[in-house]
A and B are shown apart, each in its own frame.
Chain A
């Protein structure tokens, strides 16, 4: 059973327009949510995060929205640039009993921004 789902495997957007990547989760114990960007053959790069007590966090062109009642979060990229083309992973964090946190990842969405 997938606890974190990204239902769109790919998304194509024109340069300058908004990219919206979506993520749904099922586990109410998740208390922190993150977005990572990944290029082929590289490790994921942390982009932006949001605590479960907030509904919006903004960092430059990137904004993450959290709807706890719907167990849904989204990443907005405005304006989209060709360099944003990559695979984006949504991740949800829960505390581990022996300290630290565990991330559960969605399957990823491949974003293609066309010039």
Chain B
């Protein structure tokens, strides 16, 4: 069966520091991968998606970037965090039509 992992589970970082969140998927090959953010009290916003190694599409302009160095690995990064980057970050993989989410990373920028 397929499983999706995210780490770390929680992170507290100062403004201006770098960020690296990692997502890995097991049990499937060549998945479509997604990064979402849920800001406090709001719905889920799609940040990036990837249909293959090295292929990244961005849905919103922002302070963040994504990379896919391996088939089942998706990384969310920032060179300098902003206060507004705080939120709950979710990675997902998809079958046709349906997406399945990881456990999420709670990021607090102080």
Contact (A98, B55) CB under 8 Å given A43-B102, A106-B43, A107-B42: yes
Whether the pair B43, A107 counts as a contact (CB closer than 8 A) is yes
Complex Cα distance, B106 from A104, in Å, reads 21
Whether the pair A43, B94 counts as a contact (CB closer than 8 A) is no
> Per-position contact with B for A32-45: 1 when CB-CB < 8 Å, else 0?
10101000011111
Chain B interface helix/strand/loop/mixed: strand
Sample of 17 more A-B contacts, CB < 8 Å, known A32-B97, A34-B97, A51-B97 = A41-B88, A42-B103, A43-B6, A43-B92, A43-B103, A43-B104, A46-B98, A96-B57, A100-B32, A101-B94, A101-B96, A101-B99, A102-B46, A102-B49, A105-B43, A105-B45, A108-B43
Contact (A34, B98) CB under 8 Å given A98-B57, A100-B49: yes
Interface presence of B44 (CB below 8 A): yes
Whether the pair B101, A45 counts as a contact (CB closer than 8 A) is yes
Whether the pair B46, A49 counts as a contact (CB closer than 8 A) is no
Whether the pair B101, A43 counts as a contact (CB closer than 8 A) is yes
Partner of B97 from the list A41, A93, A107, A108 (CB cut-off 8 Å) is A93
B residues with CB within 8 A of A: 6, 32, 34, 42-46, 49, 51, 55, 57, 59, 88, 90, 92, 94, 96-104, 106
Point out the residues of chain B lying under 8 angstroms from A102, CB to CB. Answer: 46, 49, 59
Partner of B44 from the list A32, A41, A44 (CB cut-off 8 Å) is A44
Q: Please list 5 pairs of residues, one from A and one from B, whose beta carbons are closer than 8 Å in the complex, sorted by A's number.
A: A36-B101, A41-B104, A93-B97, A101-B97, A102-B59
B53 to chain A: closest CB distance in Å? Answer: 14
A residues with CB within 8 A of B: 32, 34, 36, 41-46, 49, 51, 89, 91, 93, 96, 98-108
B41 to chain A: closest CB distance in Å? Answer: 9
Point out the residues of chain B lying under 8 angstroms from A103, CB to CB. Answer: 34, 44, 46, 99
Max chain A CB contacts within 10 Å: which of B34, B43, B59, B99?
Answer: B43
Point out the residues of chain B lying under 8 angstroms from A46, CB to CB. Answer: 98-101
